[in-house]
A and B are shown apart, each in its own frame.
Chain A
Amino acid sequence: MFSDENLMTRFGRGDNSAFSELVDRHQQRLLNFIYRRTGSRESAEDIVQETFLRVVNAASRYQATAKFSTWLYTIALNLWRNEIARHRTAVELNERDRVQESSSMDQHVDFQKLQSLMQDLTDEHRLVLELSFIEGWTNQQIADLLNCSVGTVKSRKFYALKALRKRMGIDNERDERDERMSESTTAIR
C-alpha cells in the first residue's frame, strides 16, 4: 500500500487516480473532524471541499517534508478558523446551524452531550484529545499541527483528560491527594 506522501507525489506528476485514493482515505475522517467543530454538515462539507481544492491547486508544488495528513488538517483548520472569524463566534455559527439542521434528534442530543462534556476545554485542548484518541495521531504529529512542543501536547492532553474526568464526576484518589497537597502548600505560604 502506498503512503499518503507517495500518492501525493504521484498526483503532483499527473496521476489523478492517486488523488482519488487520497480522497477515499481522508474525506470521512476530515469531514467528521470539522463537523465536530462546526456542528453543521453544510459548512463542514464546504470546508472539506475547499481543503481538497487547495490540495489540487498545490499538487505540483508539493514536497513531502511533513506528513500529508498534518498538511491536510492544517489547511482545514485554517479554513475553519477563517469561517469563525467571518461569523464572529463559533457559538453563533453553531446555534444557527443546529437550528437549521436537526436531521436526527439522537445525533443532536449526542452533539449537545459532547459539547457539554467539553465546555470547560479550550479549542487547543479539544484538538489534542480528538487527534490523539479519535484520529490516533502521535504526539509529534499533533505538535507539528499545533506548532508547539511534544511536552505541551502531553500536558494539554492530561489537563483535558482530568477536566473531563471531573466533569463526568469520576473521583480519583491521586487528584484528591494532589489537591490536598496544593491546598496545604498555599496555607503554609
Chain B
Amino acid sequence: MNEMNEMNECQNLQQQLDDYLCERLSDFAKRRIDNHLRQCPICAKEINSYQIVISEFRSLSQKNSIEPSLALQYSLKRLVEPSSSSTEILSRNNYVILIFTGVIMLGLGTVLSILNYYGAIATSLIISSISALIGTGIILTGLAQMKRKTKTTK
C-alpha cells in the first residue's frame, strides 16, 4: 500500500516538476513534494541534478552580464526628449510665423508705396518704405534661422 502511495507521489512529482523547478507551486503543493523527496531517493536525486544544472546556468549567465553603457542610456533618453520632437515642431512653426509676418509687412509697405505714388492716399513715403524694409529683414532672418536649424539637425 505504501509502495503504491509512493509511486503515486512519484507521478505527481513528474507532473509538477516544471512548476516545482520554476518555484511556481503553492505552499501546500511544495510541501507535498518536499515530503516525497525525503522518502524517495530516486526522485530526490533527479530534482537535485536539475537544480544543480539550473544553478550553474544562472551563475554563468550572471557572471556574463553587462551594464548598459552611458552612451546607450543617453541615446535611450534622447529618444523622447522634447528637443528632438515637440520643440522642433514648435520652432519650425515659429519660423513660419516669422516669415509670414515679414511677407505681410513687405506687402503692406509695397501697397502703401503704390497707393502713395498714384496719390490715392496721403501717407508718408518714409512709413511705407520702413514697413517694406522691416518686412524684408524679418523674412531674411526667418530663412537664415531655418537654414541654420536644418544644418544642426542633420
The reply to whether A45 and B72 contact each other, CB–CB distance below 8 Å, is yes
Report how far A44 CA is from B17 CA in the complex, Å: 34
Residues in A neighbouring B64, C-beta threshold 8 A = 32, 35-36, 107, 110-111, 114
Which one of A35, A44, A56, A172 lies within 8 Å of B46 (CB-CB)?
Answer: A172
Which one of A45, A107, A110 lies within 8 Å of B68 (CB-CB)?
Answer: A45
Q: Which of B55-63, B106-114, B119-127, B131-139 lies on the face that meets chain A?
A: B55-63
Q: Which of A1-9, A16-24, A65-73, A79-87 lies on the face that meets chain B?
A: A16-24
Q: Does B69 contact A (CB under 8 A)?
A: yes
Of all chain B residues, the one with the shortest Cβ separation from A129 is: B57
The reply to whether B79 and A56 contact each other, CB–CB distance below 8 Å, is yes
Task: State which residues 7-53 of A face B: CB under 8 Å.
Answer: 11, 16, 19-20, 23, 27-28, 31-32, 35-36, 41, 44-45, 48-49, 52-53
Majority secondary structure of chain A interface residues (helix, strand, loop or mixed):
helix
Say how far A185's CB is from chain B's closest CB, in angstroms: 20
Task: State which residues 100-116 of A face B: CB under 8 Å.
Answer: 106-107, 110-111, 113-114
Q: Could you count the A-B residue pairs with CB atoms below 8 Å apart for me: how many are there? A: 103
Q: Does B50 contact A (CB under 8 A)?
A: yes
Q: Does B1 contact A (CB under 8 A)?
A: no
Q: Does B4 contact A (CB under 8 A)?
A: no
Report how far A154 CA is from B22 CA in the complex, Å: 11
Residues in A neighbouring B17, C-beta threshold 8 A = 158
Say how far A132's CB is from chain B's closest CB, in angstroms: 6
Of all chain A residues, the one with the shortest Cβ separation from B69 is: A45
The total of chain A residues at the interface (CB under 8 A) is 46
Which one of B18, B45, B53, B73 lies within 8 Å of A139 (CB-CB)?
Answer: B18
The reply to whether B56 and A168 contact each other, CB–CB distance below 8 Å, is yes
Say how far B73's CB is from chain A's closest CB, in angstroms: 7
Contact (A27, B72) CB under 8 Å given A168-B52, A170-B52:
yes
Of all chain A residues, the one with the shortest Cβ separation from B18 is: A154
The reply to whether A27 and B58 contact each other, CB–CB distance below 8 Å, is no
The reply to whether B61 and A132 contact each other, CB–CB distance below 8 Å, is no
Which one of A52, A138, A139, A170 lies within 8 Å of B49 (CB-CB)?
Answer: A170
Report how far A114 CA is from B69 CA in the complex, Å: 23
The reply to whether A165 and B63 contact each other, CB–CB distance below 8 Å, is no
The reply to whether A165 and B18 contact each other, CB–CB distance below 8 Å, is no
Jot down 12 A-B pairs with beta carbons below 8 A, ordered by A. A19-B80, A32-B64, A49-B75, A107-B63, A110-B64, A130-B61, A139-B18, A158-B18, A161-B50, A165-B53, A173-B42, A173-B46
